[in-house]
Structure 1
């Protein structure tokens, strides 16, 4: 019997944990790229079938760069209660927010490295990828934590949210720059939806309340598209106050780019947007659908899209910014919540850079399965795109950590990795503190 899509090709998991040292480098690694690149993604243990790509155990892949050398590669499963004890997420005692896969993202805030998944607590890990344990911020966090928190570059605060199966369906949280949970605020929504990402501007929080709706009786990954739920974007003042909702055309969004307020007070949001048909095709595919028509329809399904929300008039303008299939938008996060010019996305076999001021784009073909391109600013940079992009690229059974010049997408260096790194989700560059 053929393996399901999520256990085959470059989604197929690797069977073990390894260490390798003194990795081969092509080109010249910039000396100031001294730190660690970490990437997270699902990786079931040998013989396991999690039933969906999104539910495999989290595995972190790490590369240590220092002074122009690639000192080591290592990969480690995140040892959650689900991994070590086979603990159920929902049991007799209710929901166990520590019994999760921690398989989606890895970030650092206030010196703490956190492996994230949106249905439970984050797990702290060490710089060598060993698991410390679940984090609930001194017992103050009582909901899940999104895999896409946003660190304000001015205040150093970390904004995030949790969604759940039962009321309150959506809760906003804020960590201080020192890592203390200082605010939790309920956001009223009509039901439980799969809210994967959100956006933050200088003065607002933006919520994507879209029609991937939870129903307990579905089992497995208990979400499916429901036309009747509708689609809307919520705008909540960061300082407090009611949420204003803008109805939008039905769609789904996994990942936003950036958002900001323009000179006229309008709110601009860019994201990778899926139509109903293309999203449901993708959802079937990563959930194990074997219909060839479904697989074909799921290729390159999201396009770069913009919403402009006008609080003064209540009007929202929608526009597609391109027609090519892209995902995983990234940018220079020193401009998070403020107007930014450049956006980097990943297509089937390369990186696409968008100039959001002039409407131009550049494409860098990689000839392989290309992971999210993480932007790392150069020290003392005077230009927004002065820095590098780091991406794991896989061709067959060989993977590399590719370093591109973010200005023109030209090659800077490549680190040969000792094994294939399966397709995964998100990564971060953790420079020396």
Structure 2
């Protein structure tokens, strides 16, 4: 008999996929759901078909879990695979003629609303449009104008409503910047010169700039027949780029210490015109550890950490919250660790995207949600227990909010033994529990989600 110890990490415990799609109504609520929370919480993540090992956590078919809240009630839960061409008939992403079918993807990383559409995202291909009931409409290429993949981490400008995003490729052009209007029209695409095909998972914006992360995890053609054809390249270097959002000005690059960043928190411009970026930073050894755990090819600890045995030995595969300050006057980047606790999935009030922010919220090692006050340098935590695994905490502002943390955090919390899950609603101001919605099934660990209020 097979046991969890025989299976890869991403097929075990709270990460194990579920075998089917279900619906449930009239969900049990503990506490009080605020009446104004009327809408849908959707969360995307990888979920291979029964009996299939995707080979890497990142490459399972996308499945969205949804909870409908209405007037203090939790009306329904449902989960649906995103019915992509890859799911329907295992269509190849790379065709025989060496062109890409960008609809043959897993659509498993994020789900967002924009311009009246709900989009399931994965960075190597087209987004897939979903209905509010989680039925798949189909791939979206914005009227044929999108010819690259679309990052799973687009940024919506809170002032203009534009959606800024990018696509990266395995062959030139390696990086392309895109701008979607508030009404969903692709109005700009611009190639960005970078030296090679890196795995650029996220980026940031400020009021006037785009911030790129050109980091040393690179595509390797020899790994294409494996699960994820990327590896650490100690010789590639690491740098952050600042590009004007308006006009066609060049990117200014700032060298930084070797690292990898899956997820940024936010960025802004300070009073001296410097660009300030917050993100969850993996040291080379920490990246090696997490990449190995999730199924990626790893040979040895990268040289950058091997030079420091204590750092390598202490690596747990966790990221640490860091801040980079990029100074155009000096051409230098400074780096500061904001905490030594292992964290991931930093979030903030999206109405402050690209602008100065006071608070960040993260999921943390040991089963906690941590709130950072970047003005005071302090942090507070809601400790859920080491046997519990919270996911990304999505911030939902209260109606008429006057304070930046006036609102709620929403996250799916699962038992690490794989026994059950809840949708937890937390008061963002003091991290007190507001309500919990008991879900009718275990929800596997996943990636990113959104609160989609009723119009």
With structure 1 as the length reference, what TM-score do the two structures score? 0.97
Counterpart check, 1:165 vs 2:170 = yes
The CA deviation string for residues 224-252 of structure 1, in whole angstroms up to 9 with x for no partner, is 00011000001100002100000000000
Correspondence for 2:376: 358
Correspondence for 2:306: none
Instruction: Report if the CA contact (8 A) 2:288-2:317 is conserved.
Output: no
Instruction: Report if the CA contact (8 A) 1:124-1:135 is conserved.
Output: yes
| Cα distance between partner residues in 2 of 1:218 and 1:188 | 24
Within the candidate set 193, 204, 222, 2:229 is matched to 222
| Cα distance between partner residues in 2 of 1:129 and 1:297 | 43
Within the candidate set 403, 407, 424, 2:429 is matched to 407
| Cα distance between partner residues in 2 of 1:184 and 1:96 | 20
Counterpart check, 1:419 vs 2:441 = yes
Correspondence for 2:92: 88
Q: Secondary structure, in 3 states, of the residue corresponding to 1:6?
A: helix
Counterpart check, 1:75 vs 2:79 = yes
Correspondence for 1:259: 267
Correspondence for 2:47: 43
| Cα distance between partner residues in 2 of 1:429 and 1:142 | 28
The CA deviation string for residues 169-217 of structure 1, in whole angstroms up to 9 with x for no partner, is 0000000000000000011000000000000000000000000000111
The CA deviation string for residues 231-279 of structure 1, in whole angstroms up to 9 with x for no partner, is 0001100002100000000000000001000011000000000000110
Instruction: Report if the CA contact (8 A) 2:167-2:176 is conserved.
Output: yes
| Cα distance between partner residues in 1 of 2:298 and 2:192 | 38
Q: Secondary structure, in 3 states, of the residue corresponding to 1:325?
A: strand
Structure 1 segments unaligned to the other structure (5+ residues): none
Correspondence for 1:208: 213
Question: Structure 1 residue 299: deviation in Å?
Answer: 4.0
Question: Structure 1 residue 312: deviation in Å?
Answer: 1.6
Instruction: Report if the CA contact (8 A) 2:231-2:297 is conserved.
Output: no
| Cα distance between partner residues in 1 of 2:24 and 2:223 | 43
| Cα distance between partner residues in 2 of 1:38 and 1:262 | 34
1:27-426 matched pairs, under 5 angstroms: 27-93=31-97, 94-219=99-224, 220=226, 221-240=228-247, 241-287=249-295, 299=316, 301-348=318-365, 349-367=367-385, 368-395=388-415, 396=417, 397-426=419-448
Q: Secondary structure, in 3 states, of the residue corresponding to 2:340?
A: coil
How big is the alpha-carbon RMSD for the aligned residues of Structure 1 and Structure 2? 1.5
Instruction: Report if the CA contact (8 A) 1:273-1:304 is conserved.
Output: yes
| Aligned residue pair count | 430
Question: Structure 1 residue 80: deviation in Å?
Answer: 0.2
With structure 2 as the length reference, what TM-score do the two structures score? 0.93
Distance 1:7 1:288, change over 3 A: farther
Instruction: Report if the CA contact (8 A) 2:288-2:298 is conserved.
Output: no
The CA deviation string for residues 312-358 of structure 1, in whole angstroms up to 9 with x for no partner, is 21011111010000000000010000000000001120100000000
| Cα distance between partner residues in 2 of 1:392 and 1:307 | 30
Instruction: Report if the CA contact (8 A) 2:290-2:317 is conserved.
Output: no
| Cα distance between partner residues in 1 of 2:381 and 2:180 | 37
Instruction: Report if the CA contact (8 A) 1:262-1:268 is conserved.
Output: yes
Instruction: Report if the CA contact (8 A) 1:62-1:73 is conserved.
Output: yes
Instruction: Report if the CA contact (8 A) 2:282-2:317 is conserved.
Output: no
Question: Structure 1 residue 289: deviation in Å?
Answer: 8.3
